[in-house]
Amino acid sequence: MTDATPQSLALQRIRADVRAMHAYAVHDATGYLKMDAMENPFGLPPALQAALGQRLGQLALNRYPGTRQNDLKAALAAHALAPEGSALILGNGSDELIGLVQLACARRDASGPAKVLAPAPGFVMYAMCAQQHGLQYVGVDLDGEFQLREQAMLDAIAEHRPALTFLAYPNNPTATLWDEAVVQRIADAVAEVGGIVVMDEAYQPFASRSWIDRMRAEPARNGHVLLMRTLSKFGLAGVRLGYMIGPAALVHEIDKLRPPYNVSVLNCEAALFALEHAGVFAAQAAELRAARTDLLAALRAMPGVEKVWDSQANMVLVRVADSARAYEGMKACKILVKNVSTMHPSLANCLRLTVGSHADNAQMLAALQASL
């Protein structure tokens, strides 16, 4: 006779590593100024709100998504200046695309599971998705200034022969845009072991350059590179739309794993509408880049802030004497930022601050000063 209940027996069917995992946490931000998720602080102007509402209201919500997605893919390819001969796949945010490309490479041979390699610290979803799909994640530490350690990356690629190498360009949570020549040499090394590079450009609207230029200039050399972007930092975080550009042969294989209706008609039409008004969002990005310059200067002049790193994204990484105390102090002031100090040893006592409007940044700076 066993004391096991139907529920406890059913739970045993769930993989042990999944039961040991922690879900990606999204904290309730009601009543707070949300400066922890790199969101665009600007809403649509009222006239565009009305126009978008009218357009979405006319959609056939009783029908599955159809060929309108092809219009969106064409518009995104034109917006990104996609290389000739490339194809594009849509995702429910870039998170889904990270999962799809890893699922496509989730093979196991005599030496064990396929490997995913990325610089560390980096975006947490690279490692989380690798675990979900049974791949082995390999992190290669950045240096003390969060720059790529080129030889360490080359050695790790030669040793592990990763199926996938993720390079966030710029990186999250460090906001660094790595040296182009170093990145190209790392991509070349991945090609030599027959791997795929995923260049993650989530923060492209705030960066001074894009890898799409290298893909157009040397398509053969970058024939194993997939470039991933999201409209979240463009200004549509709530729409949940990511896209991946790359050689058609590679993209078509990954597209086989995409759920047939992964992008809703509402998301698709909202994204098309935004691209038709791309100038509005470009102006918002320019305002945020200017606000970032002022924010960096204010942080560097603030007593108690020990280190401020340069940024090529809409976030700034800072080190303080006690990040837990500063985080809780800012939370008490109703300002949410990200305490990244436990993500990686090199991030000890670091906070990641979203770059917001000048007014939002002023509130955040005042709360930080009061919490140090």
Average pLDDT over the chain reads 96
Confidence of residue 2 (pLDDT cuts 50, 70, 90): low
For residue range 35-56, list pLDDT tens digits in order.
999 999 999 999 999 999 999 9
All structural domains of the chain, each given as residue ranges with its CATH number in brackets, are: 13-42+279-371 (3.90.1150.10), 64-276 (3.40.640.10)
Confidence of residue 1 (pLDDT cuts 50, 70, 90): low
Confidence of residue 110 (pLDDT cuts 50, 70, 90): confident
For residue range 308-326, list pLDDT tens digits in order.
999 999 999 999 999 999 9
What phi, psi does 203 have (nearest 5°)? -105, 25
Q: 261-294: string of b/e by CB count within 10 Å (b at 16+)?
A: ebbbbebbbbbbbbbeeeeebeebbeebbebbee
Higher model confidence: residue 53 or residue 20? 53
- For residue 338, CA distances in Å to 25, 172, 295, 349 come to 12, 12, 16, 11
Dihedral angle computed from the Cα positions of residues 186, 188, 193 and 197, in that order, rounded to the nearest 10 degrees: 70
Confidence of residue 218 (pLDDT cuts 50, 70, 90): very high
For residue range 240-290, list pLDDT tens digits in order.
999 999 999 999 999 999 999 999 999 999 999 999 999 999 999 999 999
Res 9: pLDDT: 87
346 pLDDT above the threshold of 70 = yes
Q: State what percent of residues in the chain have pLDDT above 70.
A: 99
